[in-house]
Structure 1
Amino acid sequence: MPGYQVKLEHIAVEGVDDLVIRSLLDRQQFSDPQGEAHDLGISSATWPLFGLLWPSGAELAARMAQRPVIAGNRILEIGCGLALASLVGHRLGNDMTASDCHPLAAAFLLENLRLNNLPPMKYRHGDWRLAPPPSTRALVHGFFDLIIGSDLLYERDDDAHLAGFIGRHAAVGAEVWIVDPNRSNRPAFNRQMANEGFSMQEEKLDRLATAQSAAYKGRMLTYRRD
Structure 2
Amino acid sequence: MTVPEALRDPALRRFRLRRHRLHCAGGELSVVAPARGDDLLEGPRAAACLRSGQMPYWADIWPASVGMARALMRGPERAGCRALDLGCGIGVAGLAAGRRGAMVHFADLSPDALQFARFNSRGLPARVTFQQLDWSRETVDGSFDLLLLADVAYEERNSEPLARHLDRCLAPRGVGLLTDPYRAATDAFLDRLQGGDFTLDETRLDTAFGGQRFALRLVEIRRRTS
Query: TM-score w.r.t. structure 1 length?
Result: 0.79
Give matches, 1:11-160, under 5 Å.
11-16=22-27, 18-30=28-40, 32=45, 41-43=52-54, 46-47=55-56, 49-114=57-122, 117-118=123-124, 121-130=128-137, 140-157=140-157, 160=160
**Contact 2:159/2:189 (CA < 8 Å) preserved in 1?**
no
What is residue 135 of structure 1 aligned with on the other side?
A: none
Distance 2:141 2:175 in 1: 17
What is residue 183 of structure 1 aligned with on the other side?
A: 183
Task: Give the superposition deviation at 1:4.
Answer: 3.7
CA RMSD of aligned residues (A): 2.8
**Contact 1:164/1:196 (CA < 8 Å) preserved in 2?**
no
Task: Give the superposition deviation at 1:59.
Answer: 0.4
**Contact 2:177/2:218 (CA < 8 Å) preserved in 1?**
yes
Q: Aligned in 2, Cα 1:74/1:3: closer, same or farther, shift over 3 Å?
A: closer
Partner SS, residue 80 of structure 2: coil
Partner SS, residue 185 of structure 1: helix
Partner SS, residue 129 of structure 1: coil
Percent identity of the aligned residues? 25
Q: Aligned in 2, Cα 1:158/1:103: closer, same or farther, shift over 3 Å?
A: closer
Distance 2:215 2:26 in 1: 22
What is residue 136 of structure 1 aligned with on the other side?
A: none
Which of 206, 215, 218 is the matching residue for 1:217?
215
Distance 1:187 1:33 in 2: 32
Unaligned ranges ≥5, structure 1: 133-138
More helix by share: 2
